[in-house]
Amino acid sequence: MVGRTESELVLFSVADHIATIAFNRPEVLNAVSTPVFGRLIEVFDQISDDPDVWCVILRGNGRAFCVGADQKERPGMSLDDVRRRRRISPQAFSAMRNCPRPVIAQVHGFALGGGLEMALGCDIVVAANDTVMGLIETRRGSIPAGGGTQLMPRLIGPAKAKELIFTGRKFTAAEAADWGLITYAVEPDALEAKVNALAQEIVASAPISNVQAKRAINASMDMDVANGIQLEAALYERILTTWDRTEALTAYKEKRAPQFRGE
């Protein structure tokens, strides 16, 4: 196995308001180890504090997005190691959902177990249509514990989610798109262009607006409609006095594209 520093396990860069995060263990199909969890949490914390990031792309280097937990790591783990992993793994799996900025998953090759759960934690999932996916944990004597039992039923309904989780069956991204589990399944050679085009559309919108919209949408999953509408109204009020709101109105009057600043 190739030795890497923790910062090299998950690569991170920002250009033109778009952050790119890449799993970087291609020799093991980006299997997730405890240091990867730690680095992922660190990177998303950094993004949350960076006003220059307006959109995030999560991808994997090499032949796969992510095949889930590193099975070779576990036999050598002490009880304390296991406890630490269980303590930080929920933070890693929720990092995409808790990130205030929109997060796009760019998925190819394989997205299995925790890898698929990380993709489903993103706001938009774009995958090469031949990507092999699955929550395979029951085949390994476990259950999906990175949000899979909660996210999949909300996306495709409990009956289909139970079938896929109980059987541990693998499926393609094309099937996942048909079920509504992911947003898009595209030809492999069109994947990067599709993701980049979506990211460019997102950063053309007011970043403050997208932050509040994501907050409202995520909260709606746990609220009734009446309370959700109250929250929506409160978040709308926060936008009214921002520079970006004023700029949008001025640009509309002047018939030009707005130049947002995230303020």
The tens digit of pLDDT for each residue in 186-217 reads 999 999 999 999 999 999 999 999 999 999 99
6 has pLDDT over 80: no
Please identify every residue annotated as catalytic. Answer: 69, 114, 117, 137
Domain presence at residue 259: no
Q: What confidence tier does 79 reach under pLDDT thresholds 50, 70, 90?
A: confident
Beta bridge partners of 13: 20
Structure tokens at 146: 């990175």
User: Rounded mean pLDDT of 103-120?
Assistant: 98
Q: Do residue 219 and residue 197 come from a single domain?
A: no
Beta bridge partners of 104: 57, 124
Q: Do residue 218 and residue 197 come from a single domain?
A: no
Q: Do residue 55 and residue 131 come from a single domain?
A: yes
Domain presence at residue 262: no
Top-confidence residue, 7 or 129 = 129
Domain presence at residue 260: no
What residues contact residue 119 under an 8 Å CB cut-off, 6+ apart? 58, 65, 66, 105, 107, 111, 125, 127, 182
244 has pLDDT over 90: yes
Domain presence at residue 181: yes
Q: What digits encode the pLDDT tens for the residues 131-149? A: 999 999 999 999 999 999 9
Q: Do residue 198 and residue 214 come from a single domain?
A: no
**CATH classification at residue 171:** 3.90.226.10
**CATH classification at residue 212:** 1.10.12
Q: What digits encode the pLDDT tens for the residues 158-182? A: 999 999 999 999 999 999 999 999 9
Rounded to whole angstroms, the maximal C-alpha distance in the chain is: 64
pLDDT, position 1:
45
For residue 19, give the amino acid letter.
A
Number of domains in the chain: 2
Q: Do residue 199 and residue 213 come from a single domain?
A: no
User: Rounded mean pLDDT of 78-83?
Assistant: 76
239 has pLDDT over 50: yes
Domain that holds residue 243: 207-253
Q: What confidence tier does 67 reach under pLDDT thresholds 50, 70, 90?
A: very high
pLDDT, position 136:
96
Other CB atoms within a 10 A radius of the CB of residue 5 amount to 8
User: Rounded mean pLDDT of 11-16?
Assistant: 96
Q: Do residue 142 and residue 180 come from a single domain?
A: yes
Domain presence at residue 187: yes
pLDDT, position 2:
58
Handedness of CA 196, 63, 181, 225 (dihedral sign): negative
92 has pLDDT over 80: yes
